[in-house]
């Protein structure tokens, strides 16, 4: 059985490179690879127009993602404040309560489950007991 070999990027024609970029940009814009789209007759100008369109779709989705994350942060911070009113001793304790309630494996999982930015919670081990200290990321 022989292995398939693919040309390097530098060995591809401009049109082949455009087809590869279309494949990736389409997935970025729609979440899946294009199906049933025949680009074999497309020109570089056709690809350029499609790249402009896909770029606008990707930019719009990025803005929506940022807004959704900002809303998730507000909701999560309210949740932490409520847990501190209910007895959590501090922010870190409230986060631990959230981890237990959400059955989160770690702080990154907790962030994902609450639709927070992936780096919203910074993880630092407390002691040797496997528990975590969290602080708001300033990144």
Bridge partner residues of 135 (DSSP): 122
**Domain residue spans in the chain?**
15-25+43-136
Rounded CA-CA distance 60/54 in Å is: 10
Cα–Cα distance, 107 to 41 (Å, whole number): 49
Kind and range of the H or E run holding 19: helix 14-30
What confidence score (pLDDT) does residue 10 get?
92
DSSP label at 31?
S
pTM: 0.69
Burial level of 31, CB count in 10 A (0-12/13-18/19+)? exposed
pLDDT (tens digit per residue) in 39-86: 999 999 999 999 999 999 999 999 999 999 999 999 999 999 999 999
Rg (CA), the chain: 23
pLDDT per residue as tens digits for the range 6-34: 889 999 999 999 999 999 999 999 999 99
How would you class 9 by CB atoms within 10 Å of its CB: exposed for 0-12, middle for 13-18, buried for 19 or more?
exposed
For residue 20, what is the enclosing H or E element?
helix 14-30
């Amino acid at each position: 059985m022989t292995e398939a070999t693919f040309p390097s990027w530098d060995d591809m024609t401009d049109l082949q490179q455009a087809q590869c970029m279309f494949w990736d940009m389409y997935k970025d814009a729609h979440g899946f690879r294009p199906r049933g789209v025949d680009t074999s007759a497309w020109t570089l100008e056709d690809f350029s127009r499609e790249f402009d369109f896909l770029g606008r779709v990707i930019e719009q989705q990025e803005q929506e993602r940022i807004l959704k994350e900002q809303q998730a942060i507000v909701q999560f911070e309210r949740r932490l404040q409520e847990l501190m009113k209910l007895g959590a001793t501090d922010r870190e304790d409230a986060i631990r309560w959230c981890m237990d309630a959400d059955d989160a494996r770690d702080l990154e999982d907790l962030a994902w489950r609450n639709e927070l930015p992936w780096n919203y919670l910074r993880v630092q081990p407390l002691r040797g007991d496997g528990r975590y200290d969290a602080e708001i990321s300033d990144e």
